[in-house]
Every structure is written in C-alpha cells, then in structure tokens.
Chain A
C-alpha cells in the first residue's frame, strides 16, 4: 500500500499536470471538503441571488424587459441546480446543503444581501455583479474537479447574456431623461464597492487561497481577478458617461492597470457576519419557500411510492410487447 503522503504528493502532481479529478478518484479529504464548501456556497449564491432581481420582475418597465429579466433570474436557478448536482457527486446531498444554508451554517455571496431599490439596480447587478461573477466563473471552467468544471462551462455559456442585458439597461438609462441618468449613477454608486468585494479579501488575508491554487481549484488570485474586473469595467462606465465612485481611481501607465482606492473591508466583514441590509430577509425568503414547499415535495414522493407499488415487479414488463 502506498503511504498517504505519497498519494497526496502524486495527487498534487496529477492536478498540476492539468488532469481532471473525477468523483470516483482518490482525493485528499481536505480537497473534498474544500470543494463541497465552495461548490455549495456557489450554488447557494445562485439561488439566493435570484431574490434581489426577482424583486423587480413584476415591475419591469416593458414587456421585453420583463421577459429578459425573468429568463435571467430563471437561469440563475438553473445554475444553482447544476452546482448542487456537482456538489452531490462528492457525497453530500442537496437536502443537507440546503439545511446548512437555512440553518445559517453555510455562506453565500454577500453581494446578495444588498437591496435592489430602483430599476437601475437591475442594470447595475447584471453589469457589475454578473460581470464580477463571470470573471471568477471563467477561471473556474478550468478548475481541477471535473463535475465542477463542466458545470461552470455550461454556466458560462448561459452567463454571456446576463452581463449584456445589465449593461444594456444601464446604457438606456444613461442616455435617457435626467431622472433616469441619475438613477443609473445612483445604482453604480451603491453597487461599485460591494462588487469589488465579491472577489474576497487580498490573498495574503485569505488563508485557503494558496492551498486552493495548489489543488488547481482556483487558478487566479483574488487581487488579480479584481484588477482584471476593474480594468475591464472602467472603460465601460466611461462609454456610457457614468462615473466610478472612487476619487483615487486612475490609470497607471507603468503598471498597465488602474489604481484604485482602498476597499472598506469592515463593511465586507459586517455583511459576512450577517449584518448586511438584507441578510435576514434573504434567508427568511429561502426558509419560507422551503417550508411552504415541503408538503408539495412530500406529495410527489408519496405519489411516486404509490405508483411503484401499483406497478408489477421491476424488470418485468406489464405485457409482452413488440419492440
């Protein structure tokens, strides 16, 4: 028998050579645990993330906008579903993960604990929040765990329209009446900093980052992803005449990147700790949906059980039939 140390070393070499790990492969316990935590958090984020945008589906200002927003929020539900499935391949049931979420034990992206106050927030969320998420998700398409990577590939394909629809909303507002333009700027002001926080604290402050990089779960540092996002987004804001709410933001010729102001991490940690503006409402909404859906899920299970009891023994067709 090979000693564990040897196995772990070989596992590292295996993922370092860009090989994918599949559900039945041997993997270090810590790798499995990290993945379950990360993928389920990601899944929870998709599902909780439906709420702030669903908040505006019934008030979308045109039928076209209503359809687009509904399809977008529905996509996020699909993403949650793909991700729960990916996590389930690691041996944790979706029910278990949902119980952890509803018990407040599992985390989800803090960005969804901010309120969506105006229609412009639908623009800002699609443009900035999906934009930041995509930055992360494109990287995760190459993550070492096969089912996670495949889920991300599918998700990234669907994400392509999310950011565009958000930017389109912002563009319309920015080119609209004075009031609309003010609405757009206000949304950008409120969502800019929380979006930058989505990438998480600097890597030297993120204890698990180095390990995740070594395992090839994560491929880029939080700071690199954040910088890429800023570099990409600033010109998009300029293009529609909106200003980024950061007096320290300026192009640094030497670095070839934008310099930006200090992020207020105390706000980030307050929201993570549960004290964001909407933490309570978001969890309450999920708990309510889950609790009120219980009898529906039970009914369908009961019906299925009755049906299979009524059917003749499995494997024996009810009647001989021609192919």
Chain B
C-alpha cells in the first residue's frame, strides 16, 4: 500500500489523524494509573475522544486512497518516518504536570485548528471538525482547570507545573510553523494558515497561565520536523509497541 499518493488531501488527513492517534495513545497509557479514580476516568475519556477522532480522519483518508486501504493500514503499517504528527504530542507522559502541560498546549491549538476546519472547503473534513470541536473545547477546559489548580495549588505542584510548561513550550513553535502539508491545505482552502493561529493561542494560554500564578518562560523553539516525518526518538518506541501485533501476525485479522 502506498501512502504518498498524489492526493495531497490524504497527507493532510494523515497529519490530522496522527496528532489525534498519537496523543490519544499517550493518554491511554494513564489508564489504571491516574492520580485518583475520578481523573483516571477523565483521562480515558480524553483518549477515547482522540482515538475516535483519529479513526474518522483515517477512514476518510483510506476512502480516498481506495484499493482496499483501511484505517488500520494507516495506523499500523506506516513507519515513524511516515507519521506526520507534531513532535509535541508524542512526548512521553512524564508526571501528571507534564501530561497536563502537553495537553493544555495542544488543546488550545486544537480548538483553534478545529474552529477553522469547520469552515474547510473539504466538506467531509468540515463535518468531522464540527463534531470534534465540542470535545476539544471540553478537553481544553479540563487541562486549563488542572493547570490552574497545579499552578496555584501547593509549592510542589507549582514547581512541577512551571517545570512542565518550560519543558513543553519549546515544542509549541512547530504548531505554528507551516510545513508543506499545511501550505497545500491552506492554498486549497482545506485548513488554516497555522501561523495565523499563534496570536489567539497566546491569548488563550496566557489567560490561564496568569490565573494559575504561573508565567511562560522565554524559550528558544526547537528545530522540529514532525510534519515531514522526522520525530523525536520516543515515537519509534510508541509505534513499535502499538503496531507489534499486526506486524507479528501479518496474515491475521482481528
């Protein structure tokens, strides 16, 4: 099966789907290990929403690739060099503050991204985004709630939360730096000019960070090329684990 089809809309759908799948997968690693039962359940809900969203993007992509391609081909048979997610979402869970920092940064972006995608000239993509926006809004509230509670909680939680923000902030610039996949999407009217989302993101995030008695440190952005399939070392392990069964039994269906 070939993924680099001539249809650039497929590349864009894969990029969107990969963000959702990889982040959902990371969140699902918390299941059974959350800081309290109520939050364990909440984290699983986030994961369910995101993996569910990935399926919708992949199903649409598979349909456009045709030739019997399925969502599972796309999730289980591409290598890490073919995954087009942002490097932010593949970052390991770390402690609860790390998970919330990663989530909070992504959620704020995701809400803005989906808000724009609702008006995509790709009607099928717009339909997916409309539904996902409700979920993402809820996610963004949830992660913001935690950033505020951890930032303005105890001394320890404040220290951990500011460290987590500082650790994840250098990954943020990639969200707003257009790669080829974004540029084509913008030219065709499928998706937003990602750079244009930066100001609103800063506003959303800044408000919460202030409420949390935290501040965003000045950091140099990392050189990241996730959207071109060049990832951090952790993605290879994530995929090795996720894809192990279908690859061990290539003739099997599940």
The yes or no verdict on A and B being binding partners is: yes
Please provide the chain A residues from 297 to 323 with a CB less than 8 Å away from any CB of chain B in the complex: 297-303, 306
Evaluate contact between B31 and A74: CB separation under 8 angstroms: yes
Stretch of A61-69, A136-144, A201-209 that contacts chain B = A61-69
Bound complex: CA A131 to CA B55 (Å)? 30
Residue-wise, chain B 28-65 has the 8 Å CB interface mask toward A (1 for contact) of 11011111111111001101100110110010000000
Asked if B148 lies at the interface with its beta carbon under 8 angstroms from chain A, I say yes
Bound complex: CA A303 to CA B75 (Å)? 40
Evaluate contact between B153 and A74: CB separation under 8 angstroms: no
Q: CB < 8 Å: which of B39, B58, B246, B252 contacts A176?
A: B252
User: Would A73 and B152 be within 8 Å (CB), given that A51-B32, A177-B252, A299-B157 are in contact?
Assistant: no
Which chain A residue shows the least CB distance to B247? A61
Closest CB-CB distance, B178 to chain A, in whole Å?
Answer: 28
Please provide the chain A residues from 159 to 178 with a CB less than 8 Å away from any CB of chain B in the complex: 169, 172, 176-177
Evaluate contact between B245 and A285: CB separation under 8 angstroms: no
Residue-wise, chain B 112-156 has the 8 Å CB interface mask toward A (1 for contact) of 000000000000000000000000000000000000111011101
Evaluate contact between B36 and A297: CB separation under 8 angstroms: yes
Q: CB < 8 Å: which of A54, A58, A73, A285 contacts B25?
A: A58
Asked if B210 lies at the interface with its beta carbon under 8 angstroms from chain A, I say no
Asked if A196 lies at the interface with its beta carbon under 8 angstroms from chain B, I say no
Q: CB < 8 Å: which of A51, A58, A177 contacts B242?
A: A58
Contacts of A298 in B (CB 8 A): 153-154, 156-157
Closest CB-CB distance, A37 to chain B, in whole Å?
Answer: 20
Evaluate contact between A299 and B149: CB separation under 8 angstroms: yes
Contacts of A80 in B (CB 8 A): 37
Bound complex: CA A289 to CA B34 (Å)? 6
Evaluate contact between A59 and B242: CB separation under 8 angstroms: yes
Which chain A residue shows the least CB distance to B253? A176
Asked if A270 lies at the interface with its beta carbon under 8 angstroms from chain B, I say no
Bound complex: CA A317 to CA B20 (Å)? 42
Closest CB-CB distance, B50 to chain A, in whole Å?
Answer: 10
Evaluate contact between B37 and A74: CB separation under 8 angstroms: no
Evaluate contact between A74 and B48: CB separation under 8 angstroms: yes
Contacts of B96 in A (CB 8 A): 292-293, 296
Asked if A239 lies at the interface with its beta carbon under 8 angstroms from chain B, I say no
Which chain B residue shows the least CB distance to A306? B152
Q: CB < 8 Å: which of B39, B40, B71 contacts A63?
A: B71
Evaluate contact between A61 and B241: CB separation under 8 angstroms: no
Closest CB-CB distance, B129 to chain A, in whole Å?
Answer: 19
Bound complex: CA A177 to CA B254 (Å)? 10
Asked if B203 lies at the interface with its beta carbon under 8 angstroms from chain A, I say no
Asked if B66 lies at the interface with its beta carbon under 8 angstroms from chain A, I say no
Bound complex: CA A47 to CA B55 (Å)? 28
Bound complex: CA A285 to CA B40 (Å)? 14
Please provide the chain B residues from 6 to 25 with a CB less than 8 Å away from any CB of chain A in the complex: 21, 25
Bound complex: CA A65 to CA B245 (Å)? 12
Asked if A276 lies at the interface with its beta carbon under 8 angstroms from chain B, I say no
Bound complex: CA A270 to CA B253 (Å)? 38
Asked if A193 lies at the interface with its beta carbon under 8 angstroms from chain B, I say no
Contacts of A81 in B (CB 8 A): 37-38, 41
Contacts of B75 in A (CB 8 A): 63
Which chain A residue shows the least CB distance to B153? A299
Closest CB-CB distance, B163 to chain A, in whole Å?
Answer: 13
Subset of 22 A-B contacts with CB under 8 Å: A54-B31, A57-B31, A58-B29, A58-B242, A59-B242, A59-B245, A62-B254, A64-B55, A65-B254, A70-B28, A74-B31, A74-B40, A77-B37, A177-B249, A179-B249, A180-B252, A285-B33, A293-B34, A293-B36, A296-B150, A301-B153, A302-B157
Which B residues have a C-beta under 8 Å from some C-beta of A? 21, 25, 28-29, 31-41, 44-45, 47-48, 51-52, 54-55, 58, 71-72, 75-76, 95-96, 148-150, 152-154, 156-157, 160, 241-242, 244-246, 249, 251-254
The 4 closest A-B pairs by CB, nearest first: A293-B35, A299-B153, A299-B157, A54-B32
